[in-house]
Amino acid sequence: MLSLLCPLVAQAQLNTDRLTAIGRNALYFEDYVLSIQYFNQVIRLKPYLVEPYQLRAIAKVQLEDWEGALEDCNRAIEINPFIASLYYTRGFIYRQLENWPAAEQDFTSALQSAPQNRTYIALRADVRMRMDSLAGAQADLDRLLELSPDQLDLLHDKAVLCIRQQDTLQAIHYLERVVEKRPEEPDNWSMLGSLYLMSGNEIEALRCLNQAIEHGSTWAGDYVNRGIVCYKRHDYKTALADYDRAVRIAPKDIQCHYNRALLLQEVGDYNHALEEYNRVISLSPQSYEMYYNRGLVCMQLMQWQKALQDLDVTIKHYPYFMPAYYLASQAKIQMGDYRGAQQYRDRAYQLDRKKTTNQIYPQPRTDVDIAKQTPKERDRRREFSVRQAQNSEDTESDNKYETAWRGSVQKRYQDVQLEPNIELGYYAGSKELRQTNYTHPALEELNRSGVLRAPLRFTPKEVQLTPEILDQHFQTITQQTDQINRLAATTGEQAMLLFLSRAIEEAQVRDYASAVDDCTRAIRAATDESPTLALIYLIRANLRAKQKKDIEIALRDYDEVIRRDPSLSFAYYNKANLLFDNHDYEGAIQLYTKALQADPDLAEAYLNRGLTYIYVDKVKEGLQDLSNAGERGIYQAYHLISRFR
């Protein structure tokens, strides 16, 4: 017996090795969704292997399905906790999920097996900075600089760390080294210019900001900051031109409008300054300091009532800001209300007496606002190394594909809509990569009977028929009607099949009312033990659901299908869709769950239940279901995951 089993074991090993190799190649060529399907097959055959879980996790990382990838990593580590790349992958996932302590722990675990790995050290340094563990981050960056003293990205990261440590001079030192080696990148000049401006060195700030703009900066803050430098140097014409450019780049940026308003106010263009303050306040009504500035402009324009309204808002939110009381009293005087003016002065006097000398009170912003540019965060997802994660020497390919499910499908927009009902018909639309089992023993038995003109199929996607094919169906309906009339006395199984056959034809030409009637005749003619009866009830329920009337009757038909054949997962699924359409979301979730109990690979049920969970604000459960839908071939789920996370 053992000798006979040996060839079978060898064949199974060969099959899983081949499936893994094909999946790995698909992963290499950025065909992530397809690679997952191959790894699924290996896992079903040999759930104790680490590699397919690890590779599937890597594919899911590329699709930004962090929850699904985390689940695969956990399973792989349970099987073998001694592979460094598994901890690296899981640490990266935890980082994307902003679970910083878990990420740090995993990168540390990875470094225990690979202490010189620069990727692991760099990611741990990044996580430690986010945790405010600045000493640990500095140790990691210093170690990296020992390994790669001329790597400019590390100098960039050191500058970030120095800013976090409020060491502006050291940050400037590192950034000067970066721009010396890489002068063509505007972002580094932007950072350096911002730091010089914050430290009061306007000359160096202007030099750096000019370089940033000359090298193609598209950040509005560079124009805002250069405008501030020119404003302080009394070059108002250049400052206004820079502010105008900043507003064109970022028309909804409060900072841009605010600085331009201050400059217009400074040069006495009060009407345009008022327009700018109005824009700022409309964009951000909670920017209460803006009301004081607008009040000043209204005073200049002698709009006393409007000025008083703005000053009252300022006083409410900054009760110890004395200039607001003075201006409010002046507005009252101009309006002829001397008693009201005195009340403002009295309030200011009383508050000033209550002030303590050692307490700082909030004051509104009345000066220019620097667009503070911290060093740009690196896109760590792009730094995820498939080679590191696989412990292999493969490199990523630049090949691009036009097939819809290849590449980073999560970046392709998808409408948020449920998958439709699973229908029975002669034509099956493309099911792409889905793992759903679109067969059933009752359907196979019906197709073997040979009474239908073509095999029936379950399909999640109906096909649009051409006029020529529709004409063929109309002709078939005429022929079947003649046959039914000739065999009017026929009963039992033969009559049931005749009416069922015509009902299917009528459904193809969208004559749903006639199709429902023929399904009813087929049900009456059938024997109660017929295995086909459950399918007929399912067809009739689907038809009634399409008619969007007699919903209760359609639900009863689905219940009858379930009673007769509880293994028909599509009955639970279609009924759940109907409940969702009628706003019974909890009922829909329960039925999607039952559908998945009948068929754990029913991809459509995972997607629809996931969207329903999200609709009722159970986002965590919804994302998990969307991950399962994507894993089972509905690639559109990956965009929805990134959209709802």
Radius of gyration over every alpha carbon of the chain, rounded to an integer in angstroms:
35
Tell me the C-alpha to C-alpha distance, in Å, between residue 238 and each of 88, 190, 218, 232, 242: 51, 18, 18, 11, 6
Say what the pLDDT of residue 145 is.
87
For residue 457, the cross-strand partners are: 425
Report whether 509 contacts 477 (CB < 8 A).
yes
Architecture of domain 413-464+566-645: Alpha Horseshoe (1.25)
Report whether 264 contacts 276 (CB < 8 A).
yes
Tell me the C-alpha to C-alpha distance, in Å, between residue 517 and each of 145, 170, 281, 509: 79, 83, 65, 15
> What are the domain boundaries of the chain?
220-354, 413-464+566-645, 469-539
Q: Pick the closest to residue 627 from 414, 609, 618 (CA basis).
A: 609
Residues 6+ apart with CB under 8 A from 371: 194, 220, 221, 222, 224, 225, 255
Q: Is 302 left (phi over 0), alpha (psi -120 to 50) or beta?
A: left
Q: Write the pLDDT tens digit of every residue in 233-243.
A: 999 999 999 99
Q: Write the pLDDT tens digit of every residue in 241-295.
A: 999 999 999 999 888 999 999 999 999 999 999 999 999 999 989 888 899 999 9
| Dihedral (CA of 8, 12, 14, 18) sign | positive
Distance CA 508, CA 515 (A): 9
Distance CA 99, CA 251 (A): 35
> What's phi and psi for 459, nearest 5 deg?
-150, 140
Q: Quote the tokens at residue 637.
A: 């789920």
Report whether 276 contacts 244 (CB < 8 A).
no
Say what the pLDDT of residue 641 is.
85
Query: Which residue ranges of the chain lie beneath pLDDT 70?
Result: 1-14, 356-360, 372-383, 385-387, 391-416, 429-433, 435, 488-491
Distance CA 308, CA 264 (A): 21
Distance CA 545, CA 610 (A): 22
Cβ burial of 372 (10 Å; 0-12, 13-18, 19+) is middle
Give the residue carrying structure tokens 């996932």: 93
Say what the pLDDT of residue 621 is.
94
Q: Is 325 left (phi over 0), alpha (psi -120 to 50) or beta?
A: alpha
Say what the pLDDT of residue 394 is.
43
**One-letter amino acid for residue 625 of the chain:** D
Q: Write the pLDDT tens digit of every residue in 165-210.
A: 888 899 999 899 888 888 998 988 999 999 999 888 999 999 999 9
Helical axes 492-508 vs 512-525, angle rounded to 10°: 170
Say what the pLDDT of residue 307 is.
94
Report whether 456 contacts 446 (CB < 8 A).
yes
> What's phi and psi for 458, nearest 5 deg?
-85, 135
CATH no., domain 220-354: 1.25.40.10
User: Where do the DSSP E strands lie in 158-254?
Assistant: none
Pairing of strands 457-459, 423-425: antiparallel
Buried-exposed string 429-457: b where 16+ CB fall within 10 A, e elsewhere: eebbbbbbeeebebbeebeeeeeeeeebb
Report whether 396 contacts 386 (CB < 8 A).
yes
> What's phi and psi for 424, nearest 5 deg?
-110, 125
**One-letter amino acid for residue 523 of the chain:** I
Distance CA 518, CA 505 (A): 10
Contacts of 177-181 spanning 24+ positions with Cβ under 8 A = 177/152, 178/152, 179/208, 179/211, 181/150, 181/152
Distance CA 72, CA 55 (A): 9
Distance CA 40, CA 524 (A): 44
Q: Quote the tokens at residue 163.
A: 């800013």
For residue 424, the cross-strand partners are: 458
